[in-house]
Amino acid sequence: MPDAQVLEVDTLPDQLEGAEQVGQYMQIRPGAMLLRVPEVGAFLAEDGTTVRVAPVVGADPGAVDMYLHGAARAAILHQRGELPLHASCLLPPDGLACIAVCGFSGAGKSTLAAEMHRRGWMVLADDSTRVSLRDGKPFAWPSHRGIKLWQDACERLELPTEKLQTVRTGLQKFFYPVTQDTEPLRLGTVVELTLSEPGLVELPSIPERMALLTRHTFRQRQVAPLGMLKQHLQLVGTIAGQITAGILGGGRRSTVEELGNALEEVAQWKPLSS
């Protein structure tokens, strides 16, 4: 959890005063998000600084962890006016700025991240990348959770799984450790990995890049009820003005080597601004 305090508590309120019910499980008002998941627990993310967790007795720790690092972490970042992007984040060897690869689940982001790691790229984050502005420029933050890879992806990449820790009990999905001992790094490019025909297309316009960032904002349903819509659009607009972006088709169709080659090509794109 990035710079936030996580406190385990016995109970949390059933109702969050003044909050809007968002879906079946979430209550949200500006500054606070309460998530109640049956048989797992309650999570209260407040003011971008604190998450209180009240697990149900006997809850699966893996499930508690999933909501803590998923919906609760996203709420903290949204509350701070940062951008949790549904993307992995990679730095090419000798690169000055990193490339975020976003895409919906199943497009192959993590497998591609593992392939690039094998090629000597640094993997800053897998699945969700924290992006914030520093002196008005977008920076991507490292996470320390490793790449989550399914058994079949490990087999394709010829990675033995015997010594890897499973992500969840009951799932043949593993944390593949990658070292990312680094400061936040400048985000230079965002690429969307899609299931469409193979090919790489650059997005020349800012509105297209904004749409891409919005499309892959993690837990975007939280933004408006948190009262952060205006700030979110400003943030996305600022980032979109300072990155190159593109669409990489061929997810689940092209080989991971072909996708990796395309990403090498992206790494050669001329940066928009330094």
Contact between 139 and other proteins by CB under 8 A: the answer reads no
Binding mask 28-47 for other proteins (x = CB under 8 A): -------x-xxx--------
Contact between 144 and other proteins by CB under 8 A: the answer reads no
Which residue among 77, 167, 210, 267 contacts other proteins (CB under 8 A)?
167
Contact between 70 and other proteins by CB under 8 A: the answer reads yes
Contact between 87 and other proteins by CB under 8 A: the answer reads no
Measured torsion, CA atoms of residues 152, 154, 160, 163, in degrees rounded to the nearest 10 = -100
Which residue among 7, 9, 96, 171 contacts other proteins (CB under 8 A)?
171
Contact between 26 and other proteins by CB under 8 A: the answer reads yes
> DSSP strand E in the chain: where?
5-8, 20-22, 26-29, 32-37, 41-46, 50-55, 83-85, 87-91, 98-102, 122-125, 129-134, 137-140, 147-150, 165-166, 173-176, 185-193, 199-202, 244-249
Give the pairing type, strands 20-22 and 26-29: antiparallel
> Residue 130 half-sphere exposure, CB side, CA atoms within 13 Å?
23
Contact between 105 and other proteins by CB under 8 A: the answer reads yes
Tokens at residue 133, please? 């502005």
Residue 32, beta-bridge partner list: 29, 46
Contact between 106 and other proteins by CB under 8 A: the answer reads yes
Residue 213 CB, nearest approach to other proteins (Å): 16
Contact between 175 and other proteins by CB under 8 A: the answer reads no
Nearer to other proteins, 119 or 168 (CB): 168
**Cα–Cα–Cα angle for 163, 113, 184, rounded to 5 degrees:** 105
Q: Which residues bind other proteins (CB under 8 A)?
A: 23-26, 35, 37-39, 63, 66-67, 70-71, 104-106, 148, 150-153, 167-168, 170-172, 195, 220-221, 252
